[in-house]
Structure 1
């Protein structure tokens, strides 16, 4: 029934707005051929636009493979023809459609290369830019950010509002980890921390920070969406690039990438390969003053990854495009570690755990896209279907020495996941200033996790019993439909929309009771933009979001991380809903720009940590998740870029956010020297008011035409959570890049964390008082070399990823 309703809704919407013009018999047409002035060769896919004398678009189209064009539905009277092509000077000519001359042949039109415009493209590629759009902040990655590090993980830490945990690789936006990360508008089953390490920084074209997504987008993620847009060559002929890099402190880390692209009039074929081989050392300690004990940790991660992407775009004609791509992700990783526990008052209880975890995973993505362009510019319908399959296998050995009562054991975990996505999107520019978008989508997700162990655990009577094998099946099917409408009046523009979703969730396991949750929800969104002048822009937006529990939060399979801590999911978790509102102001100067904004979130059924004592050993802690009361969060952001001189430019950002976190934790209240019992456990609901802030600044110094130096500084204030409070974190990176081989090559060198100040230091109170510190390889040197080859003319048409970007020159929305 849901599928039928969505289909009917979409067809009615399309038929309602696909109308014909009864005055068409009075219209005229123009024909012609566009060629390169120097080469005297036809130029395919050139933009041809017809405007009235007031500057409003009345018709348009693009040239075919032979440079020919036919533009119809041109009303009687005078109008102006504009012919535009990237890298060429714009051609314009006045025409007149009259009763005796309705069909005009403009003959051959020669376009001349615009050398200054081509040079400007290269200059912009040197320095990253930040553009504030109505529903997102678009960061175009230049050579300055590429030298920040070899992978997407290092690059993202240089962006405003974004933080990547240097130990876990987890990503957060505006201080919250409930964020969706997409690659070219697509979700993936690959763990985000792993994926960011596999994507070369040289492959990233743009990063879109969609903090308040419209109804067109999936509503997951309280903080919004981070969309990483990868390069896709727009030049004709064979083009490509190759890059290699080495990072070193204690262990060597290698990375490399190869990008190839071949494009002609009908086909665009591309392939990308990225490789990462790395070893990373981590160490730290946790001290508990109540029993005068201390844990020491030493870990070594050894991983190899290969990422392949192959795609094809087939341009059937100027109205129909078929695209296909596949991504293959191969990962192998080993983690070895030693945990030493010292009881300084009772050394007979000292113990040591050594472990070796050996795992691999593969992920395959297949995507098909068909797009039909109607006669009216921007009027199109697009069908997209995608399938993603993820498989992983991990074997872990745990060995104990000393006073540990637990015998040695092995764990085996196998995971199979798949995701199917089908979406249909229809766009109709009803008038020059208004646009309607409707669409429907189906997202089917399923995962199966098998856990087995040779180990033993204590039951409530203190007896050792074999660990139970666990099988966990989880499915989540989502069917949705959306509609958005936008318009522009003078200096004002707006967009409103709503998304309806029906969700079916089912969790089955052999260890706890099954869980089902079916619900229907609506997610409205609204955006208003005011642009009084070209240099000033005001925005306000609202959207409703949802955070569905992740697999790690609902998985009932216990995962031991240390001898004293374990983690387990809660299959009964409910979704968390957020109402988000934000306002932004952008001011553009002659040499830069600045954007300031504030945001507020109202959160219902907050998902957060619950900390419990292990009933079989009160010295151990169990971490899980639960739903809590409603709460709220707010924050401010300021970011800007400026170029004081020809040789110095910089961008900087500051963000501050505040949130009250609610959770449950357990404490022991037993007399000193008396063994605790369950009667001594006190359950306490705790609230933590956290105000955190970040500042970062990136400086670019152009010493010569070919040599550029950079300096990046970052400072994060203290951060309070339910379990601990972290100390401030800060570092400074220095870099240089040198252009080689007439601009086709780049040599880069970076010295990171030059003062060796990066560390994770904390003080905890729940459930035991503790202090600790963790360190990793941050004081590194990176050396990289890249080379670009190939050439050819630019081609105007390329497949778009799903977005809400505005047309240029329309005042900030369309």
Structure 2
């Protein structure tokens, strides 16, 4: 393999040699030497050695070998410059004079220093997860934090400040609100966020971006902001990679692994990342309803195998033109086995096992072209992103107490297909030393089709003459039923956007003012049996944004920002056809539902000190036309709940966040975060309008102890305060994790061990009065043990010509830690 890499690295030198001018001077000189890293004193292989004459014309050259040694022959007589060039390092220049009496020159040991401007482009896997505060986001570099080892993206996000994930439903909340948009590599996916986060191994994740107040450059959807998951993409010189593998043991066993590789030669960089999750997870719980003395016992077992592959290449045509392309292939197979046991007065009323065999297959293809003009920072970028997914499902539901009941014994065959097209062009022009103009156009085309073929029956009701609907006795001890109609829908959503951002810097104050214009069009067709209904909407909106950053010194930074955002109704929220969702919930959408708009304001302060950093932030949101759930007793069945949606009056949401990193001693570092959110939630239950004020408090602290050069320990604690919604009052939950890691194999390998939720404090315990009085608790496999191994190979330095993310609207800022 090394020979292949060496030959590939020679391509640069051969190209140079092929273009060398002829020279009539005697070629008698030889120069040799050894190149080392100035910091580590390690040999640097594949360093370019370029020989130039006094007119700066290249006359010959070569590269260093695996041990950092080089020998360049056939150097013309006279004065020449020897340039030692390596990506990510400062170029060293040595002057030599070749003569007949001095034809062999040994330059000895040459120490190369890393280039300061390249430090933020060097891939470094930090010992802990660090947070960098930038102008419009927080960037969490996942690092080798033991709390993230061997987990999924869903579990990893629970360790990230301001984020929480419902372990039952997989729903993600940012700042206590579920109206959040989840992206992968800055792009939307066709898979639900709950499903997607279960499929991505944490070892495939490079960083997580929390964009709580996005600029006009962003899609404005998601009231609480955007969570952008960045997958690994190496661009180190030569052949490099890492292997991660691990086993998690709780009630069940789960395996995870990933392989991250790249090959960088000359103007080409090939990269690939593969991740695997395989294993079972169980959930169980109880719900007790006090008004009818009923108990429900739940048991769910998920057996999931998921594969994630990202592969692509960067082609550096020249200093001005770059082509990039990649594909993400995601495949998941899931077998769900569940059971619901219902008792009235301790007598079994129903026993309903369910078996659901489902798949999720998605493909994303991305192409990017960047043109850099002569002026630094002046560029034009075109990007095209195509994705499609299919998620077939074959479900069998049964009821063993009454197996002839065709309302509860049936099969569903569901197909769900989605296609997304995203085209955008971005133009950036630094008008002057202190100002910059950004312009862009974007087209988003989304198409969703769904078909549900079922053998289920529905009860037939009749009016008893008093305005009440009652079941019809079939004469055989049961009730009359009729086959449920098959259903389908097609939902197209197209969005056309244009944005403008203007940036200007006044000494210590910088500002960014922007606006995004969007034309939103949607067409939906919903079919159930012979019933067909349509849904259409068309809205033009403007979304302004403003950012102000003040740096009174190198250690202090203030940020003030504003943006307008939108949450548009989902398919389920506008589907006008009455659907049976669960045995106890019937849902019906509201085609008159309007989008809810949010005006968001934020203030952040970051302070750097000798032993770490401190960040304080506060926000205020004004939500107009708030989309609210309506919960009523089902008019056709008193034991069921009917769920729908409506727009209610505006409400306010606000909160504060604190995070800090402190170096207690050389061997002890503490990272902590605290957040408190307050929001009003309104809704309707049983015809009564309700409003609650929910206060949500969260605290996280991580202690990292360095016992020796190769051994370290970690102690992590999380407290998530209870909360209240119009339907639930939830108790607090907490967990304590601990772990250790040991570097082996001369630092190239790491063995990790971790135990999560030692005292089993993570559980969902709740009570409610609407629409019925009940209380319950759900548990999952929160206490687990993990053992893992990571091995890194290759040693090339990184200096990729970074592909500009269209949403990478950043300035250098302060830092903090979770």
8 A Cα contact 1:90 1:111, kept in partner: no
Identify the residue that residue 385 of structure 2 maps to in structure 1: 386
8 A Cα contact 1:148 1:154, kept in partner: no
Residue aligning to 1:4: none
Distance of aligned partners of 1:460 and 1:92 in 2 relative to their CA distance in 1, 3 Å threshold: farther
Local SS of the residue matching 1:132? strand
CA–CA distance in structure 1, aligned partners of residues 670 and 577 of structure 2: 48
Residues 511, 546 of structure 2: 8 Å contact kept:
yes
Residue in structure 2 matched with residue 457 of structure 1 by the alignment? 458
Query: Contact conserved, 2:150 with 2:247, CA < 8 A, in 1?
Result: no
1:134-177 per-residue CA deviation (whole Å, 9 max, x = no partner) reads 11111222212564542222221111101111122221110011
Query: Matched residue of 2:759: which SS?
Result: coil
1:96: which partner in 2? Answer: none
Aligned mates of 2:256, 2:534 — CA distance in 1 = 44
Q: 2:698 & 2:813 partners in 1: Cα distance?
A: 34
- Match of residue 583 from structure 1: 603
**Secondary structure of the corresponding residue to residue 514 of structure 1:** strand
Alignment correspondent of 1:651: 671
User: For residues 83 and 489 of structure 1, do their structure 2 counterparts lie closer, same or farther at Cα, with a shift above 3 Å needed?
Assistant: farther
CA contact (8 A) 2:392 2:414 kept: yes
Q: Cα distance 1:130–1:40, how it changes in 2: closer, same or farther (>3 A)? A: closer
Q: Deviation digits for residues 211-269 of structure 1, max 9, x if unmatched?
A: 10000011010011111122221311111111111111111111111112111111111
- Counting only pairs closer than 5 Å after superposition, residues 209-220 of structure 1 correspond to structure 2 as 209-220=210-221
Identify unmatched segments of 5+ residues in structure 2. Answer: 1-32, 37-43, 51-60, 64-82, 95-106, 463-470, 472-479
Q: Contact 2:441/2:498 (CA < 8 Å) preserved in 1?
A: yes
1:627 aligns with 2:647: yes
- State whether structure 2 residue 619 is matched by structure 1 residue 599: yes
Deviation at 1:66, TM superposition (A): 9.8
Q: Which moved more, 1:372-381 or 1:602-611?
A: 602-611
Answer yes or no: is 1:774 the counterpart of 2:778. Answer: yes
Q: Determine the C-alpha separation between the residues in 2 that align with 1:540 and 1:368.
A: 35
Matched position secondary structure for 1:196: helix
Distance 1:280 1:624 in 2: 31
Between the aligned partners of 2:378 and 2:642, the Cα distance in structure 1 is 55
Which residue does 1:448 correspond to in 2?
A: 449
Q: In structure 1, which of residues 444, 453, 468 is the aligned counterpart of residue 485 of structure 2?
A: 468
* Match in the other structure for 1:143: 144
Query: Is 1:610 aligned to residue 614 of structure 2?
Result: no
Question: Is 1:492 aligned with 2:509?
Answer: yes
Aligned equivalent of 1:637: 657
Find 1:711's aligned residue among 712, 715, 718.
Answer: 715
Q: Which residue of 1 aligns with 2:724?
A: 720
| 2:354 alignment counterpart | 355
Larger Rg: 2
* Alignment match, 1:669: none
> Does structure 2 retain, via aligned residues, the 8 Å contact 1:44–1:66?
yes
Classify the secondary structure of the residue corresponding to 1:389.
Answer: strand
Cα displacement (A) at 1:624: 2.9
Match of 2:791 among 787, 791, 807: 787
Correspondence list, 1:755-774, <5 A = 755-774=759-778
Pairwise mapping of residues 355-374 of structure 1 onto structure 2 (< 5 A)? 355-374=354-373
Q: Residue 260 of structure 1 contacts residue 271 of structure 1 at CA under 8 Å; is this kept in 2? A: yes
Partner of 1:419: 420
Give the 3 Å change call, closer, same or farther, for CA 214–508 of structure 1 in structure 2. Answer: same
Give yes or no for the alignment of 1:799 onto 2:803. yes
Partner of 1:49: none
Quote the residue 1:194 is aligned against: 195
Q: How many Å separate the matches in 2 of 1:763 and 1:363?
A: 38
The alpha carbon displacement at 1:464 in A equals: 1.5
Note the aligned Cα RMSD (angstroms).
Answer: 2.9
Distance 2:119 2:603 in 1: 36
Deviation at 1:466? Answer: 1.2
Residue 114 of structure 1: CA displacement? 2.4
Aligned equivalents of 1:472, 1:756: Cα separation in 2: 43
Alignment of 1:16-55 (within 5 A): 43=48
Tell whether the 8 Å contact from 1:459 to 1:616 is kept in structure 2 after alignment.
no
Write the distance in 1 (CA, Å) between the matches of 2:161 and 2:149.
14
Counting matched residue pairs gives 711
Give the TM-score, by structure 2 length.
0.83
Alignment check: 8 A CA contact 2:129 2:145 kept? yes
Q: Deviations over 1:279-306 (max 9, x none)?
A: 1111101101111111000111111111
Q: Could you tell me how far apart the structure 2 residues matched to 1:84 and 1:281 are?
A: 55
In 1, distance between residues paired with 2:813 and 2:246? Answer: 41
1:336 partnered with 2:337: yes
Shift of 1:43: 4.9
The CA deviation at 1:83 is: 12
Q: Distance in 1 between matches of 2:48 and 2:209?
A: 32
Identify which range, 624-633 or 749-758, moves more after superposition.
624-633
Secondary structure of residue in 2 paired with 1:487: strand
TM-score, normalised via structure 1 length: 0.83
Task: Decide which of 723, 727, 733 is 1:729's aligned counterpart.
Answer: 733
Task: Measure, in 2, the Cα distance between the counterparts of 1:329 and 1:227.
Answer: 17
Aligned to 2:401: 402
Cα distance in 2, alignment partners of residues 288 and 368 from structure 1: 55
- Structure 1 alignment gaps of length 5 or more: 1-34, 46-64, 68-81, 94-107, 667-682
Asked whether the equivalents of residues 301 and 336 of structure 1 are also in contact (C-alpha less than 8 Å), the reply is yes
After superposition, the C-alpha distances for 1:182-224 in whole angstroms (9 at most, x for unaligned) are 1111111122122222222222222111110000011010011
- The question of whether the paired residues in 2 share the 8 Å contact of 1:451 and 1:557 is answered with no
Q: Distance in 2 between matches of 1:123 and 1:368?
A: 27
Contact 2:515 2:545 in 1 (8 A): yes
What residue number does 2:522 align with?
505
DSSP 3-state at the match of 2:573: helix
Alignment partners' CA distance in 2, 1:700 and 1:797: 34
Q: How does 1:176-325 map to 2 (within 5 A)?
A: 176-325=177-326
